[in-house]
Amino acid sequence: MAFCTKLGILQNRSVPVTSMLGSLRYMSTKLFIGGLSPGTDDDSLKDAFSTFNGVTEARVMTNKVTGRSRGYGFVNFIIQRMRRKAIRWVSRSVWKDPFVDAFLMKKKNAALNRKIWSRRSTILPEYVDSSVRIYNGKTHVRCKITEGKVGHKFGEFAFTRKVTKHPRAK
């Protein structure tokens, strides 16, 4: 919420939170296509990926002054599974001129690049199975938060594991 407010201040208007969350959700289905020929336009790019159901938009980036293609574009899919199929299709196809880089448009995990200096940080349930970068005095070291690590930390204060008693042998 505070980020949206600061962004709105920079633009001298307010930015609704719902539109920001929608755009983050939308980024996970966006695919970067590079190495396009100068004659490629939006329609031809969309036709190239029309074999996959769920292409919502294909956009070739152009120079604002000349109107010519800049050699790259983006294809948006409804679901992420179709995006993965398109990546495999382009990497195996004879359509070798353009290249596809899905990693540039990956949805960024908010906790992935989060840098932590405090030793008293709050661990939310959403952070389990994600990575954070913890400052060790010199650099930020990547650390994956697992249920075992959280249980170990809370084990200092109370039991975190259920004690199982074996039945008596007769």
- 62 & 7 share domain: yes
Edge-to-edge strands, sheet with 69-77: 55-62, 69-77, 30-34, 99-101
In the prediction, which pLDDT does 76 show?
A: 86
In the prediction, which pLDDT does 28 show?
A: 59
Rounded (5°) CA angle 66-72-74: 115
- 16 & 56 share domain: yes
The pLDDT of residue 125 is above 60? yes
> In the chain, how many domains are there?
2
CA 40 to chain centre: 27
- 98 & 17 share domain: yes
Rg (CA), the chain: 23
The amino acid that residue 14 corresponds to is: S
Confidence band (pLDDT; 50, 70, 90) for 130? Answer: confident
Mean pLDDT of 4-9: 43
- 89 & 146 share domain: no
Residue 47 lies in domain: 2-105
- DSSP per residue, 137-156: SSSEEEEEE-HHHHHHHHTT
Q: What is this structure's pTM?
A: 0.43
pLDDT in tens, 10-47: 444 444 444 443 443 444 578 888 777 778 888 888 88
Confidence band (pLDDT; 50, 70, 90) for 169? Answer: low
pLDDT in tens, 50-109: 887 788 888 998 888 888 888 888 888 887 788 778 777 766 555 545 555 544 444 444
52-66, 90-104, 123-137, 152-166: segment of lowest average pLDDT: 90-104
Q: For residue 168, tell me if it sits in a domain.
A: no
CA atoms 101, 106, 68, 39: torsion sign:
positive
Confidence band (pLDDT; 50, 70, 90) for 122? Answer: low
Q: 58: number of CA atoms within 13 Å, CB side? A: 19
What is the domain-level CATH number for residue 137? 3.30.860.10
Query: Whole-angstrom Cα distance, residue 117 to residue 130?
Result: 17
> 2-10 and 17-27 helices cross at what angle (nearest 10)?
100
Query: Whole-angstrom Cα distance, residue 40 to residue 44?
Result: 6
CA 15 to chain centre: 21
**Residue of higher predicted confidence among 130 and 22:** 130
